[in-house]
């Protein structure tokens, strides 16, 4: 129902696996649900790595049912960085995906996308700031927290949640 080229997706994923610091021979499965135009994507399994994506997540919004290369890099790259974090003992032990709050999830996303941008990929900083503000408030404290997450490397899960909670604490009662 969509016109995605599996080989093209495979090529993007193989490059990203190497760029984000995962083992080059790590098997990664991308399971795309072509029956829906919605845009959810998540890591369904970490060992083996299985990423499930509704077709809208990788779609070019200006060319319906066609693949967006930049969009695919953005979505898959972010998720692969979260895989790297989870498999790094120094990162700590975050909750399971389904147990993350919206605030925790978006804070981690900001940390991942900031790193993806420093790898040379186009990322939309203001879009991510807007997402972060929606979960942490439209405050100076939230913007400062965003800057920390966006520009950081080698954060732990505990550090991410601390930064997130600092922003949340500044919300008006």
Partner 1 sequence: MRKAFPVEDLARDGRFVRVPMSERFEDPRTALVEHGAGKTKRGPGRLTPDRPDAPDAARALMHGIFVGEIQALEGAGRTCWDFEVGAGNGEGIPEVPFELKLDMARQCWDEARHCEISIKLSAHMGTELGEFSENTFLYEAACNPDPVLRLTGVNRALEGLAIDVFNTMREFGDVAGDPVLEFCEDWMLADEVTHVKMGSDWLRKLTVNDKPRQERALEFQRVVDKLFSLGGFRGEEEDSPVRLARRFRELAGFEEEEMDTLAEIAREAREEMELRVEANRAAAVAG
Q: Which residues contact 31 (CB under 8 A, 6 or more apart)?
A: 44, 50, 51, 52, 53
The stretch near partner 1 (CB under 8 A) out of 3-11, 61-69, 81-89, 158-166 is 61-69
Q: Which two tokens stand for residue 107?
A: 């804070």
CA distance 150 to 23: 24
Helices 102-118 and 140-151 meet at what angle, rounded to 10?
Answer: 50
| Cα gap 23→3, rounded to integer Å | 30
Contact between 129 and partner 1 per CB under 8 A: yes
CA angle (155 as vertex; 150, 157 as ends), nearest 5: 110
62 lies in the binding site for partner 1 (CB under 8 A)? yes
The contact pattern for partner 1, residues 18-57, with x = CB under 8 A and - = no contact, is ----------------xxxxxxx--------------x--
Q: Which is nearer to partner 1, 38 or 44 (CB)?
A: 38
Q: Give all strands of the β-sheet with 41-46 in edge-to-edge order.
A: 28-33, 49-54, 41-46
- The interface region with partner 1, picked from 5-13, 14-22, 112-120, 123-131 by CB under 8 A, is 123-131
> Is 115 or 128 the residue whose CB approaches partner 1 more closely?
128
CB of 115 to partner 1, least distance (A): 18
Query: Judged by CB under 8 A, which of 15, 18, 118, 125 binds partner 1?
Result: 125
Asked if 3 is part of the footprint of partner 1 (rule: CB under 8 A), the reply reads no
Among 44, 138, 151, 154, binds partner 1 (CB under 8 A): 138
Cα 57 to Cα 76: distance, rounded to the nearest angstrom: 9
Q: Which of 131, 146, 149, 164: binder of partner 1 (CB under 8 A)? A: 131
Residues facing residue 29 across a β-bridge: 50
166: its two tokens: 């600092």
Residues that bind partner 1 (CB under 8 A): 1-2, 34-40, 55, 61-65, 102, 105, 124-131, 133-134, 137-138, 171
């Amino acid at each position: 129902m969509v016109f995605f080229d599996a080989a093209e997706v495979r090529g993007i994923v193989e490059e990203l696996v190497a760029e984000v610091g995962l083992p080059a021979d790590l098997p990664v499965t991308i399971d795309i649900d072509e029956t829906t135009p919605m845009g959810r994507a998540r890591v369904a399994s970490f060992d083996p790595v299985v990423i499930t994506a509704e077709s809208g997540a990788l779609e070019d919004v200006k060319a319906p049912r066609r693949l967006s290369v930049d969009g695919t890099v953005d979505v898959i790259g972010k998720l692969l960085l979260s895989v790297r974090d989870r498999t790094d003992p120094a990162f700590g032990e975050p909750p399971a995906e389904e147990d993350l709050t919206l605030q925790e999830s978006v804070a981690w996303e900001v940390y991942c996308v900031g790193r993806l941008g420093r790898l040379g990929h186009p990322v939309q900083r203001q879009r991510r700031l807007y997402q972060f503000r929606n979960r942490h408030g439209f405050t100076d404290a939230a913007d400062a927290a965003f800057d920390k997450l966006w520009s950081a490397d080698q954060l732990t899960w505990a550090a991410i949640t601390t930064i997130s909670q600092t922003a949340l604490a500044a919300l008006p009662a």
